[in-house]
Amino acid sequence: MKPYLIGIDSDGTAFDSMTIKHRYAFIPALLEIWGLQEHSGKIHEICEFINLYSPTRGVNRFIGMKLAFQRFEKEGIPVPDYSSIDGFLNAGKPSNDSLRNYLERHDTPFLRQLLEWSCLADRYFEKEVRTLPPFRGVLPVLKQAEDRAEIAVISSAAEKSLRADWQKENLLDHVTVLYGLEFGSKSAQLKAAAGSHFDGPHMLMIGDAAGDHEAARSAGAWFYPIVPGGEERCWEQLRERYLELFLADRYASVQEELLSRFYHAAETKV
Compute the average pLDDT of residues 177-195.
92
Q: Tens digits of per-residue pLDDT, 143-181? A: 999 999 999 999 988 888 889 889 888 899 999 999 998
Q: How much is the pLDDT for 207?
A: 96
Check the CA dihedral 146-247-240-134 and report its sign.
Answer: positive
Counting beta carbons within 10 angstroms of the beta carbon of residue 170, is it exposed (0 to 12), middle (13 to 18) or buried (19 or more)?
Answer: exposed
The pLDDT of residue 233 is above 90: yes
Compute the average pLDDT of residues 50-56.
88
Q: How much is the pLDDT for 257?
A: 96
Domain ranges of the chain: 4-16+132-269, 18-129
The one-character DSSP state at 139 is: H
SS3 content of the chain, % helix, strand, coil (to 5): 60, 10, 30
Mean per-residue pLDDT of the chain:
92
The residues, any chain, with a CB within 8 Å of residue 218's CB and separated by 6 or more, are 187, 190, 191
Express as a percent the part of the chain with pLDDT over 90. 76
Q: In this structure, what are the phi and psi dihedrals at residue 246, rounded to the nearest 5 degrees?
A: -65, -45
Q: How much is the pLDDT for 16?
A: 86
Q: How much is the pLDDT for 236?
A: 97
In angstroms, the CA 192 to CA 171 distance is 21
Compute the average pLDDT of residues 2-19.
93
The pLDDT of residue 53 is above 90: no
Tell me the CATH class for 4-16+132-269.
Answer: alpha beta
Q: Tens digits of per-residue pLDDT, 54-109? A: 888 888 999 999 999 999 999 999 999 999 999 999 998 899 999 999 999 999 99
Using pLDDT thresholds of 50, 70 and 90, give the confidence band for residue 267.
low
Q: Tens digits of per-residue pLDDT, 132-152? A: 889 999 999 999 999 999 999
Using pLDDT thresholds of 50, 70 and 90, give the confidence band for residue 270.
very low
Residue 10: how many CB atoms within 10 A of its CB? 26
Contact 206, 235 (CB under 8 A): no
Q: List strand residue ranges (DSSP E) for the chain, in order.
A: 4-8, 149-154, 177-179, 203-207, 222-225
Compute the average pLDDT of residues 175-195.
92
The one-character DSSP state at 134 is: B
